[in-house]
Amino acid sequence: MAKYIPGFVLIFFFCSLQADMFRIRIEKDDEYLKHLAGMLDVAGAGKTSDGTIELMVNAVESDIELLGEFGVVDEIVENIEITPDYYDLDQIYERVDGLEKSSGGRAQVFVIGRSIEDREIKAVRISKNNSDADLPEILLAGTHHAREWISYEVPLSIAEFIVENMDSNPYVSDILERSVIWLVPVLNPDGYVYSRDQERYWRYNRRINPDMTVGVDLNRNYDSSWMQVEYVHGTGPFSEPETVAIRDLMKNSFEKPFENGIKSLDGLITYHSYGQMILYPPGSTNDPAEKSEYYNELASKMAELTFSECGSVYLVMQTSGLYFTFGEMTEWFMNSFDGKPSFTIELRPHMNGVNDFVLPAGQIMDTVKENITPAMYLIEHIITGKTAINMDNDGNGKNDVIENTRYDYKCDRSDLELPDFENNSEPDDSFEEPDDDLGSDKDKNDEMPDAFFDGDPSSGGGGCSFISGD
């Protein structure tokens, strides 16, 4: 990897400056540039129908010439409006603390560490079974990256959904008798506050680095294929208090371990935005993991379930399908937890645009809705070991977990000129519906193409679907 570092030194200093957004292009087989792209502040990424990789990067105009070998497509003019419909950190933590109060103690709130600016990092443990049994445990984490506001809302709202329905919904109640669900809605509290108050597109934490740049990318700070890039990946793996906090939670390796801490973490979802994708490790190489087919099968089932809720297509691929990532969470989890399943879910929106990190407030609830059942499916899989799980036992076209809850409604995808999976193409006879054992709402949604679940990152209806740099 050393041969790539000189280029990084030249280009990466712009990340702490006032940046503009540029769209650049990489040929699909250019592994050198895929490595280089992994070092940039990538705001969005995707593949066009011919396999060309397109990235959106934050850069100052005077330095974009250093990226000349990519071939700059154009500069994107930003027009960011801050919406009040996303909660500030104090309000988020009020909601977190409220889980404990409204659950009768079956949800417990833990402070797992403090950020670089000394803000609390909170985790929630939810279970109806407080025995000493070694129950399966799963973690849902959000807000590694400050600007990805919807990524706190999904795990937090899933936690609220679980607490609201833990007694009234038989499916939720049964899950909580047989498992422990952990949630960390805001891993990067300092960055989130800064993104709200100062710089909407801010990605990192608020570490003041030795060279006086600011910020470390927390999702490049894990101890798996970690690579030094200036200070943006930290001074070493787990150099940041935020990543240390979640590592210690996952292993219950605190100086004073939690009495009800994690005994053996069995699965992980980390939420990001944007692009509607479900990614599985590794990200540092094109080589597949030993359990790659297994990861792809689970991710494909979860993607089918998002589609069955709102007609939203979440593409499935290995993380390195677009560009390479080093020191990323799910790869570290895979390597450190015996290959247990871990996924990065890139949330809405589905396509590139000016305000893609500012998901309209009207889509928040639908984004939560379409991610509840996939999360519960993964938990059920971890409990039972089964992959073919019927999530619609009464066959009425509604997934059991949301039936008769406040998420039992028809989604509005009027933001799309065409159904999500079509992008710029017309439907044809090759589109097939999801497996019957997963359930689909035929009244709400069109049929879904198998191509979205074959692990081929170039599939997806011919459009270019942009995601964040997980």
What is the CB neighbour count within 10 angstroms for residue 148? 26
Domain count, the chain: 2
What is the CB neighbour count within 10 angstroms for residue 435? 15
| Domain assignment present for 229 | no
CATH number for the domain spanning 20: value is: 3.30.70
Residues 130, 23 share a domain = no
Residues 300, 184 share a domain = yes
Residues 286, 390 share a domain = yes
Residues 158, 19 share a domain = no
Supply the pLDDT for residue 426: 32
| Domain assignment present for 106 | yes
| Domain assignment present for 121 | yes
| Domain assignment present for 219 | no
Burial of 436 (0-12, 13-18, 19+ CB in 10 A): exposed
Residues 60, 110 share a domain = no
Residues 78, 20 share a domain = yes
Residues 140, 40 share a domain = no
The string over 232-267, giving b where at least 16 C-beta atoms fall within 10 Å of a residue's C-beta and e elsewhere, is bbbeebbebbbbbbbbbbbeeeeeeeeeebbeebbb
Q: Are 210 and 231 in contact (CB under 8 A)?
A: yes
Q: Alpha-carbon torsion 452, 456, 460, 464, what sign?
A: positive
CATH number for the domain spanning 440: value is: 3.40.630.10
Supply the pLDDT for residue 45: 66
Residues 415, 293 share a domain = yes
Euclidean distance between CA atoms 333 and 328, whole angstroms: 9
- pLDDT tens digits, 159-168: 999 999 999 9
Euclidean distance between CA atoms 42 and 35, whole angstroms: 12
Q: Which residues contact 384 (CB under 8 A, 6 or more apart)?
A: none
Euclidean distance between CA atoms 80 and 355, whole angstroms: 6
- pLDDT tens digits, 11-54: 333 333 356 777 777 776 777 777 777 667 776 666 666 777 77
| Domain assignment present for 42 | yes
Supply the pLDDT for residue 457: 33
Residues 296, 325 share a domain = yes
Residues 414, 365 share a domain = yes
Residues 165, 49 share a domain = no
Residues 117, 72 share a domain = no
| Domain assignment present for 28 | yes
- pLDDT tens digits, 343-363: 999 999 875 544 577 888 889
| Domain assignment present for 225 | no
The CA-atom distances, in angstroms, between 318 and each of 145, 280, 292 are: 20, 5, 8
Owning domain of residue 419: 89-192+240-453
Low-confidence ranges of the chain (pLDDT < 50): 1-17, 80, 82, 353-354, 421-446, 449-468
The pTM of the full predicted model, rounded to 2 decimals, is 0.83
| Domain assignment present for 125 | yes
Q: Quick one: DSSP state of residue 435?
A: P
Supply the pLDDT for residue 14: 36
